[in-house]
């Protein structure tokens, strides 16, 4: 049986408007469903409007978010 693909869309924005503050997707909001999809036989693919590596919100990239592998 072939795994079904799930597209997971995240932002391409790396700055919060004209504030100069960095932003991006929140790590745990992507990681939690990603691993659930993967562990239940789906093939999650992360995509963003601009393509390439999407920015991670710097506030979400700490050790408290590393609960998934």
Q: What is the pLDDT of residues 13-31, one digit of tens each?
A: 999 989 999 999 999 999 9
* Alpha-carbon distances, residue 30 vs 1, 2, 13, 19, 20 (angstroms): 26, 23, 15, 25, 24
Q: For residue 46, is it within any domain?
A: yes
Q: Which residues pair with 22 in a beta bridge?
A: 15
- pLDDT range class, residue 2, cuts 50, 70, 90: confident
How many domains, the chain?
Answer: 1
The beta strands (E) that lie in 1-69 are given as 5-9, 43-47
Q: Is the pLDDT of residue 64 over 80?
A: no
Q: For residue 65, is it within any domain?
A: no
Question: Is pTM, for the whole model, over 0.85?
Answer: no
Query: Domain limits at 52?
Result: 5-60
């Amino acid at each position: 049986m072939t795994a079904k693909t799930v597209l997971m869309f995240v932002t391409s924005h790396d700055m919060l408007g004209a504030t100069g503050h960095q932003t991006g997707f929140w790590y745990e909001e992507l990681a939690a469903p990603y691993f659930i999809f993967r562990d239940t036989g789906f093939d999650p693919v992360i995509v963003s409007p601009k393509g390439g590596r999407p920015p991670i919100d710097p506030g979400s990239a700490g050790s408290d978010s590393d609960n998934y592998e």
